[in-house]
Amino acid sequence: MKILLLASMLVLGLAGCASPPETRPLSERQNLKVDPEVVYTMAVTELFEKRLVQPGGDTLLQVQFAVEARSDTELAWKVTWFDDSGMVVEGVGEGYRKATLVTGQVRYFKATAPHARVTSYQLHLREPK
């Protein structure tokens, strides 16, 4: 009986010492990723984020960015959302949103996280083919 008790305590102790699963990223993720082709035609002039307080007390991450066009151009953008452990949180759709900009125009775009557990994001800007 005593041996069984000791064995159980040893097992429990070992389990407590077990290392947590590795969640190290392979490379640092950037919040903003802009393709080189886009840089020629426009500039990202602002990138804001804030947490929207919901009536029930939850908060949702919201991102707003502004782009200023140097020439008439088209833009495709997409926000990928991540939780605290770096796992992707699925949004409504997975496609890029498209926008048209005229020379000199500054446009503001907003995206709201699909769940309160979202803590970070990656915004990707590219030129549609």
Partner 1 sequence: MLLRALAILTSLAVIAGCATPTRYVDPAADDGPVAMTMDYRDFEKAATDAVEDMLASGAVDNPDGGRYIMVVSRITNDTMQRIDTDQLTKKIRVALLRSGKVVTTTAVGLDGAEDEMAMKARELRDSEEFDQSGVQGRGTLQAPDLSLSGKILQRNHRVGKEQQVEYYIQLSLTDLASGLAIWEGETPIIKRGSNKAVSW
As a whole number of angstroms, the distance between CA 91 and CA 122 comes to 13
Binder to partner 1 among 51, 114, 119, 122 (CB under 8 A)? Answer: 114
DSSP string, 70-113: SSSEEEEEEEEEEETTS-EE--S--SPEEEEE-TT-EEEEEEE-
Q: What does the per-residue mask of binding to partner 1 show for 29-68, with x meaning CB under 8 A?
A: -----------------------x-xxx-x-x-x------
Q: Which residue lies nearer to partner 1 by CB, 80 or 120?
A: 80
> Which CB sits closer to partner 1, 42 or 63?
63
Which phi and psi angles does 9 have, rounded to 5°? -65, -40
How many other β-carbons are positioned within 10 Å of the β-carbon of residue 125? 21
- What is the Cβ-side half-sphere exposure of residue 78, based on CA atoms within 13 angstroms? 13
Which one of residues 7, 11, 90, 104 is an interface residue with partner 1 (CB under 8 A)? 90
Kindly tell me which residue out of 1, 3, 26, 92 binds partner 1, with binding defined by CB under 8 A. Answer: 92
| Interface ranges with partner 1 (CB under 8 A) | 52, 54-56, 58, 60, 62, 76, 90-97, 110-116, 128-129
